[in-house]
Amino acid sequence: MAASARARGALVPVVLALCALFGGGAPAFAETVALKAMLDGAAEVPPNDSRGTGQATFTYDTDTKQLTYTITYDGLTGPATAGHIHGPAAAGDNAGIVVPFAVPESPISGTATLTDDQAAALLAGRLYVNIHTAANKGGEIRGQIVK
């Protein structure tokens, strides 16, 4: 028994060293989440009869809170005058701008660092993409961002 107790006692410094090395607990792992949105006039609030369509792909890094996006569209009534990510809002509701796009010409790509509240809204499906034109100032095509 005495030898067994000594062996266990010898492990204590090793365990403590490993805990110190790895932060003392279970390590937190970042996750990269893939999301998408399909854009059309029927999703606008109120809906319109635009023949424009679009698609968006996103990756969100839960550790850095960085959202990377690429949005493409075509068939709009005219040139895009603005484009944004809006929220928080469910489909059928409108909300303020979360991420403005500097240049709304297709393809739109970029990154944004989200706040905790914005990240929670993103992961809950409460952000959307909106592309505006002169003929549809409130938005010509829209799509909810979902996993």
DSSP letters spanning 105-121? SSSEEEEEEPPHHHHHH
% helix, strand, coil for the chain, step of 5: 20, 35, 40
Residue 3 pLDDT level (bands cut at 50, 70, 90): low
Q: What is the mean pLDDT of residues 65-94?
A: 98
- Sign of dihedral through CA atoms 102, 136, 144, 97? positive
Residue 18 pLDDT level (bands cut at 50, 70, 90): very low
In terms of Cα–Cα distance, which of 62, 53, 63 is closest to 34? Answer: 62
Q: What is the pTM of this model?
A: 0.80
* Secondary structure E strands in 1-147: 32-40, 53-61, 66-74, 80-86, 97-100, 108-113, 128-133, 141-144
32-77: pLDDT as tens digits: 999 999 999 999 999 999 999 999 999 999 999 999 999 999 999 9
Least confident range from 16-20, 48-52, 79-83, 133-137: namely 16-20
The one-letter code for the residue type at 101 is F
Residue with tokens 């809950």: 124
Distance CA 93, CA 146 (A): 15
Residue 17 pLDDT level (bands cut at 50, 70, 90): very low
Distance CA 129, CA 72 (A): 11
Q: Give the 3-state secondary structure of residue 98.
A: strand
Higher pLDDT, 89 or 24: 89
- CB count, 10 Å around CB of 79? 9
- Please say if the pLDDT value at position 95 is more than 80: yes
